[in-house]
Amino acid sequence: MGRLLIIGAGGVGRVVVHKCAGLPDIFEQITLASRTLEKCEKIRDSVKRPIDVRRVDADQIEEVRALIEETGAELVVNVALPYQDLTIMEACLQAGVNYLDTANYESPDESHFEYSQQWAFHERFAERGITGLLGSGFDPGATNVFCAYAQKHYFDEIHSVDILDCNGGSHGHAFATNFNPEINIREITQEGKYWEDGQWKTIPAMSYMMSWDYPEIGPRDSYLLYHEELESLVKHLRGLRRIRFFMTFGQEYLTHLRVLGNVGMTSIEPIDYEGHPVIPLKFLKQLLPDPSSLAPTYSGKTNIGCLFDGIKDGQKRRIYIYNVCDHAACYREVGAQAVSYTTGVPAMIGAAMLMRGTWKGPGVFNMEQFDPDPFMDWLNQHGLPWTVKEL
């Protein structure tokens, strides 16, 4: 019996529910729980198959554990916010069920973007005989699997990886973020960081740009950012000398962000407003469009992939693996835009890998630690086909 508990009813949660509901043989019973019950009900009403909905505050370990026990869930898919990762992991541990998420733990008070606190669960998950799968979205997620696939099939040693993330879509707003604004703005306002010759190197935020010609989109300015998958990939790729992450931004977006930053609106330090503590970034989030509301009018495509340089049989080799996803096609299929879709589909696939036992092992794992082949097949079959190019 495949009993699944999904926590988080945002843009990504919607896609996970739709995709899992389409696989009744694997996910026989689905419960969607989130802080606001109405959001769960709205998603429930958009799915053809009956699913259960519940209210839960995932900051409370006890509440999550009780819900796992009540639903008999065998796996919890966490697509709430990164702030809830540790409480949900702890609840899974206590209840003895598998865990999956799409983003690493973040403390509400400080930006870290690192895995240490989640990796610290490894021994206890292993002793309990359960699996934690970290970062099963697109990036992290599919990009980690692309790396494992390149390592398995195309290289003896991968010397350099550039992860290239382009949203070539247009939503018609002057300024909006494609996923949770708080997490998104935290991520892109931190220092740029990459790994080279055995050490981490930092540069000021948005200070290094290159242009990359994204298939089906065209050339776009791409900025070096720190992104969490770099931390685990550095540990798991053979012969690696350099790994970087790039994301595209338009000038309009960057100008808005610079102005908001200059006036203090992207800060997570509370300020006093007429006797009330206010966190500027949380206030800004309230003003910005809900990312899922962008979906109905979003046009254009995303292209996310990895460019690899390395050696095979003594010869130099360059391989590019990528996926292209169309915003409007995602909306037609599940009522979501492509950023939610490209995250939600790999979350469903990761869940299927665990539920069927294709990926298993006691402990806490990143995506590249498992065999990439079945995951890559599922990407092709479930809406995120990929291309490999030898350059």
> 303: left (phi > 0), else alpha (psi -120 to 50), else beta?
beta
Interface residues for ligand NDP in 43-72 (CB under 6 A)? Answer: 56-59
Helix intervals (H) in the chain: 11-21, 37-46, 61-71, 85-95, 116-119, 122-128, 142-153, 181-189, 229-236, 251-262, 280-287, 327-334, 338-355, 372-381
Closest residue to ligand NDP in the complex (CB)? 10
Choices 76-84, 188-196, 209-217, 383-391; region in contact with ligand NDP by CB under 6 A: 76-84
Distances (CA, A) of 276 to 263, 271, 280, 361: 19, 8, 12, 48
CB of 75 to ligand NDP, least distance (A): 17
Q: Which of 118, 151, 180, 222 binds ligand NDP (CB under 6 A)?
A: 180
User: Binding to ligand NDP by residue 177, rule CB under 6 A?
Assistant: no
Sheet containing 29-34, strands listed edge to edge, beginning at the edge strand earlier in sequence: 52-55, 29-34, 3-7, 75-78, 98-101, 131-134, 363-366
Task: Say whether residue 81 binds ligand NDP (CB under 6 A).
Answer: yes
Q: Report how far residue 47's alpha carbon sits from residue 6's, in angstroms, rounded to the nearest whole number.
A: 14
For helices 11-21 and 327-334, the axis angle rounded to 10 degrees is: 60
Amino acid letter, residue 9: A
CB 304 within 8 A of CB 342: yes
- Chosen residue from 2, 132, 140, 305 binding ligand NDP by CB under 6 A: 140
Residues in 342-371 at the binding interface with ligand NDP, rule: CB under 6 A: 343
Tell me which of 16, 77, 80, 325 binds ligand NDP, using CB under 6 A: 80
Q: Is 84 in the site for ligand NDP (CB under 6 A)?
A: yes
Kindly tell me which of 186 and 193 has the beta carbon lying closer to ligand NDP: 186
Please, what is the Cα angle at 307 between 304 and 310, to 5 degrees?
155
Q: Does 338 bind ligand NDP (CB under 6 A)?
A: no
Whether residue 253 contacts residue 235, with contact meaning beta carbons closer than 8 Å, is answered with no
Q: Determine which residue in the list 155, 179, 249, 370 makes contact with ligand NDP, applying CB under 6 A.
A: 179
| Matching residue, tokens 């505050």 | 57
Query: Which one of 18, 19, 39, 159 is in contact with ligand NDP (CB under 6 A)?
Result: 39
Q: Does 295 bind ligand NDP (CB under 6 A)?
A: no
Q: Kindly tell me which of 306 and 339 has the beta carbon lying closer to ligand NDP.
A: 339
User: In terms of CB distance, is 56 or 257 closer to ligand NDP?
Assistant: 56
Binding positions for ligand NDP, rule: CB under 6 A:
7-13, 34-36, 39, 56-59, 79-82, 84, 102-103, 137-141, 179-180, 183, 291-292, 339-340, 343
